[in-house]
Copies of this chain bind each other. A is one copy, B any other.
Amino acid sequence: MRRIEAVNDFVIKFANVNGTGSASANHMFAKSIFRMGIPVSPRNIFPSNIQGLPTWYEVRVSQKGYLGRRGGVDILLCVNPQSMADDIQSVEPGGYFIYDSSKPLDQRLRRNDVEFIGIPFTQMCLREYDDARQRLLFKNMIYVGALAALLNIDFAVLKDLVGDQFRGKEKLITPNVHAMELGYQYATENFDCPLSIRVEHASEIGEHISYTKHILMDGNTAAGLGAIYGGATVAGWYPITPSTSVIEAFERYARRLRIDPGTGQNNFAIVQAEDELAAMGICIGAAWNGARSFTATSGPGLSLMSEFLGLAYFAEVPVVLVNVQRAGPSTGMPTRTQQPDILAAAYASHGDTKHVLLFPSTPKECFDMTAQSFDLADRLQTPIILMSDLDLGMNDHMSPPLEWDDEREFDRGKVLSAEDLDNMDERFGRYLDTDEDGIPYRTYPGTHPEKGAFFTRGSSRDVYATYTEDGEAYVHNMERLLQKFETAKEYVPAPKIKLAGKKTSVGALFFGTTASPCYEAIEMLADEGSAIDTIRIRAFPFNAEVEQFIADHDTVFVIEQNRDGQLRRLLINECELPPNKLISILHYDGLPITARSIAMSMRDSLTTNKVTPIRRKTAKKVKS
């Protein structure tokens, strides 16, 4: 058997049972590698239940800084008998399978091209601990310790992490460290440590890219913090996986950062509403009344907010929605990732509507774009929908540190103060397009005793906000809304373009979490001699740069994580593009798309010179 040889470049996957405390232990594992200066990207693959079902934790270790999923597993650590058979199958030839050898392995499952490492975790716990709960919990720490020995992880780093985690509960530190030591010791005594797959301190292997300033953060926490920085004061929300932690983060930070020093009271208000309709209603009411407000939701919540989103579009109320996408339709796979709500969000609600979407790709962008979305909403007086996803929102990602420009000021858009109103000669018209950019001026309720009051409604009105059924006034208003959408192109974040270095007629277009593996795939192809320019879309409406990029290439791959190629459709629709130019690469089985599969699809397409869109079928055979 040829073993895989790899330093700081491999994929390890943990197979656990959920509710057994493994997530924290696995997190500590990933973080220890990160602290050694090596880029990691951990991914939690968890079931939609609370206890007793298989759950996996996949960690990509990549000195080169590839953070998307690669595809394939080099080391599998399995402490879940339920999934063991499949887990063994998933290991790459030459890889390792580490398992709990307390019970003998079913010999039929053995593979010759994989190295099996048995450690009697359960027995060790039975010997060491009396309490059932401790047995369960410390088992996780034991395997982390064993991995430290097997993979050459710096034990001191792990000890520090335990210290950090239990700060304030110091008595828990010693037993946890002890458990790790048990595992470490067992591994060193019984196996040839380290394995052929292992880590080295980045500094020691002389890597020039330094990640020491980088942070490890999940997108939802970043979005929650972005809302703090963006000045959100009101949040109405309703729990739903995978968006819940956006609001939880907002609340956690608000309790630290938004306490009024004078009174000790809150400079924010969070209401857990009765459902998503109410959550959006709360945001709309608050935004109408001049506060910055936001909510977060996922799939079904987006559908339920659709009527209210139409109101906010037509009544021109700024409001921010963080939509953390999951696998649909309907309840779908609530704990799996996808990018399937593009059309539902862009055209949410009946009638002629269009909404501004932002597509963050990293936690840093979740932070930046959430903060920015409040400026955009106020500036454009329309809902802004941040299109995150489960992979980005709920997993830790390595990211450059968060930054804030203290010179920057909130842009509250076109709001007239009492003074402005006093200085006005003409009659105030809420929907008058004074500046010819489609964006009218508004006033907050209570501003002025005599001037500036108006009636907001979801029904047709004239430029003075008076109800009307006059067809001309209606059309005039609808055309202005289109004009405003045109204006939006100037304000939304521009796409990121990376040229291949040499001239090429092939481009690739993607957004959000599809970006990382795409960049990696493009590099793979570049190594093979195929040059591909890339554009990462960061917002809808698409601006001129996007159109230009597509115009400049004969073929553009559009890579996304849904069945129907939704972003591609939106592009064709809104930029009036010839469809055959855009080649779909789709992946939507609920796990993040991998660099290998993207590279394969592109390679296929480029070599066979297909121009019709292809759909990558992940389904080989269906298990019944």
On A, residues with C-beta under 8 Å from B are 47-48, 299-300, 302-304, 306-307, 310-311, 313-315, 327-336, 338, 340-341, 343-344, 347, 349-354, 429, 457-460, 462-464, 468-476, 478-479, 482, 562-564, 566, 569, 572-573, 576-580, 588-591, 613, 617-624
Contact = CB atoms under 8 A, between A and B. Distances in A.
A329 B340 CA distance: 23
Contact of A469 (B48, B351, B618): B48
Contacts of A470: 623
Contact of A475 (B457, B474, B619): B619
Contacts of A624: 429, 462-464
Given A328-B353, A329-B351, A344-B350, 15 more contacts: A48-B459, A333-B469, A338-B351, A340-B351, A343-B343, A351-B562, A462-B623, A463-B622, A471-B590, A472-B589, A472-B619, A472-B622, A572-B573, A572-B579, A578-B579
Nearest to A432: B624
A42 to B, nearest CB: 19
Nearest to A562: B352
B329 A352 contact: yes
Most buried by B among A300, A588, A619: A619
A578 B482 CA distance: 23
A572 B580 CA distance: 11
Contact of A474 (B304, B306, B350, B589): B589
A12 to B, nearest CB: 20
Nearest to A568: B573
A472 B620 contact: yes
A361 to B, nearest CB: 21
A232 B86 CA distance: 48
A347 B343 contact: yes
B472 A335 contact: no
A351 B328 contact: yes
Contact of A479 (B473, B591, B617): B617
A474 B352 contact: no
A564 B570 CA distance: 13
A344 B566 CA distance: 14
A436 to B, nearest CB: 14
Contacts of A622: 462-463, 472-473, 476
A472 B618 CA distance: 6
Nearest to A277: B304
Contacts of A621: 472
B333 A310 contact: no
B623 A472 contact: yes
Q: Which 8 interchain pairs have the tightest Cβ spacing?
A: A328-B351, A329-B351, A471-B589, A330-B458, A331-B458, A303-B307, A352-B563, A314-B330
Contacts of A338: 351
A618 B314 contact: no
A573 B580 CA distance: 11
A198 B390 CA distance: 69
Given A352-B566, A564-B352, A578-B578, A329 B300 contact: no
A82 to B, nearest CB: 13
A622 B473 CA distance: 5
A471 B577 contact: no
A460 B327 contact: yes
A74 to B, nearest CB: 20
B354 A350 contact: no
A576 B576 contact: no
Contacts of A300: 307, 310, 350
Contacts of A463: 622, 624
Contacts of A350: 299-300, 302-303, 328-329, 340-341, 344
Nearest to A304: B307
Contacts of A618: 471-472, 475
A478 B329 CA distance: 9
A390 to B, nearest CB: 13
Given A564-B354, A624-B464, A329 B310 contact: yes
B310 A303 contact: yes
A306 B468 CA distance: 29
A328 B273 CA distance: 27
Contact of A351 (B327, B458, B576): B327
B563 A573 contact: no
A351 B302 CA distance: 10
A68 to B, nearest CB: 17
Contact of A314 (B329, B617, B620): B329
9 contacts: A303-B349, A328-B351, A329-B349, A470-B623, A472-B622, A474-B590, A479-B617, A576-B613, A578-B578
